[in-house]
Amino acid sequence: MPIADEQPTGGLVESRSIDVVPDEERHGTAFSQFTLWVGANLQITAVVTGALAVVLGATAFWAVIGLLVGNLLGGSVMALHSAQGPRLGLPQMISSRAQFGVRGAVVPLVLAVFMFIGCTASGTVLAGEAVGELTHLGPVAGILIFTAVTAVAAAIGYRLIHFLGRLAGVVCGVAFVYLGIRLLQHDDIGAVLSDHSFALPAFLLAVSLSASWQLSFGPYVADYSRYLPRSTSARATFGWTLAGTALGAQWSMAFGALAAAAAGEAFIGHEVTYVVSLGGAGLMAAVLYFVIALGKLTVTVLNTYGAFMSTVTSVTGMRRRGAVPHRLSPRGRVGYIAAIIVAGAAVALAGRGDFLNTFSTFLLIVLAFFTPWSAVNLADYYLIAKERYDIPALNDPDGRYGSWRAPALVSYGVGLVVQLPFMATDLFTGPFVAPLGGADISWIVGLTLPGALYWVLARREPHRIPDRMIYPEDASPPQAPQGAAEVAV
């Protein structure tokens, strides 16, 4: 794809991709992370995720609690990634070059691209159904229309994405309050919650579902905080991100769990039509179909944009360009996004028939691949490098970080392997699952052991760590953001 050295125009369309955002283009406050992540989570796929906790065996009471635990735990990990954005001014996955090497980072990057395309496809299935009903053109046409709108929004970029988050937060927030009231009127939720029967495997599965939901944001969360001023408090970025993502997801997932427990077969497999039927017919139904499409548009644009950033990072990482930052031409930007969105649409069209089972398996597999990446990234940034990176060297395979770094690659590989005995999916069930009563704790193992191993191995390379954060020549090193130490702890 073409690379250009054009200067940012300051217009609607974003001109930057994986290059550092300079001080003069920084804007906004940490509160923008709250509005974005509330909007990204108030949507139908989060509702389905909450419903899965009940479908797969948990009572509504314990499902809601388990989902909350997972949202807080996974959301905390995700928010620690978000706090890197203002400090680095870079998309999330390019910082993996500091751990894996400029070329070694392609390993988690390729997996991230597959994850983003899968998330885009899963969201497009439900959004396409809503758009098809809204336009009376059917689900296939709805998927294609939704895909086209997503591509345009992702090409425009950062500012529009944050606008969509604010819009979805307000519109979908009002809609979910209304739907919650209607659910209470329609079903006896008190009776549903009165069953306190506890089963540890089902509870841990509920925790895993919501934790995997949050951890799936980790590979791109800093993409949407990187334009914040460098003086932005890391504590504020962490706190507002966690508050927004946990509140939005728990709101949606609790609604899904209660709806699935109360409605049973009327909900399962008919998620969109059931949600709309709660609101009524006619104009209200049309409004709710629009709300579903808007909520899915926000998060699907996030996934497409994240896939775009990860693909560009992968391609440029394999080129020998020294320490020169990469600037992508508008034509190259459109080309990358078009390829990603076409792949997502193809997967959506092929897999829409068995959505619920496919999606639950996909979530748990995503969790297995990205918990060890999160562990390595966070251990390096907060414990080893202590928020000190040589940013120009992230583009130089002959520089400080080299092409391939064994400590990260070994730790990541070990992280994948050690999860297998504890994993329970439709595709594979490990030997330690049965002794644990069927509980899947692979994500806990994947978050702890790889990070500890990396900490041991990477400490032997003190030469890799600069004495301060090193920025490109056009940006002077700022003071460390207030609150960074507290987040690191």
Rounded to the nearest 5°, which phi and psi values hold at 390?
A: -95, 95
What token pair was written down for 449? 């052991």
Tell me, yes or no, whether 10 lies in a domain.
no
Tell me, yes or no, whether 17 lies in a domain.
no
Tell me, yes or no, whether 20 lies in a domain.
no
Tell me, yes or no, whether 3 lies in a domain.
no
What is the number of domains present in the chain?
1
Tell me, yes or no, whether 273 lies in a domain.
yes
The CATH code of the domain that includes 180 is 1.10.4160.10
Mean pLDDT of the chain: 84
Please tell me the predicted confidence (pLDDT) of residue 450: 94
Q: What share of the chain is helix, strand, coil (3-state, %, to 5)?
A: 70, 0, 30
Tell me, yes or no, whether 12 lies in a domain.
no
Please tell me the predicted confidence (pLDDT) of residue 324: 45
Tell me, yes or no, whether 9 lies in a domain.
no
Comparing C-alpha atoms, which of 299, 288, 199 is closest to residue 244? 299
Tell me, yes or no, whether 14 lies in a domain.
no
- Range in 7-11, 375-379, 418-422 with the lowest mean pLDDT: 7-11
Rounded Cα distance between 60 and 303, Å, is: 30
Q: What is the CA radius of gyration of the chain?
A: 22
Q: Kindly compute the dihedral angle of the four CA atoms of residues 50, 168, 354, 59, in this order, to the nearest 10 degrees.
A: 10
What number is the average pLDDT over the span 69-79? 96
Q: Which DSSP helix (H) or strand (E) runs through 466?
A: none
More confident call, 184 vs 317: 184
Looking at residue 23, what DSSP letter applies?
Answer: G
Domain that holds residue 181: 27-488
Comparing C-alpha atoms, which of 486, 489, 26 is closest to residue 233? 486
What token pair was written down for 234? 């890391």
pTM of the shown model: 0.86
Please tell me the predicted confidence (pLDDT) of residue 300: 87
The angle formed by the CA atoms of residues 182, 363 and 132, to the nearest 5 degrees, is 50
Rounded Cα distance between 162 and 159, Å, is: 5
Rounded Cα distance between 312 and 332, Å, is: 10
Reported as a single tens digit per residue, the pLDDT across 205-245 is 899 889 888 988 988 899 999 999 999 999 999 999 999 99
What token pair was written down for 379? 């251990």
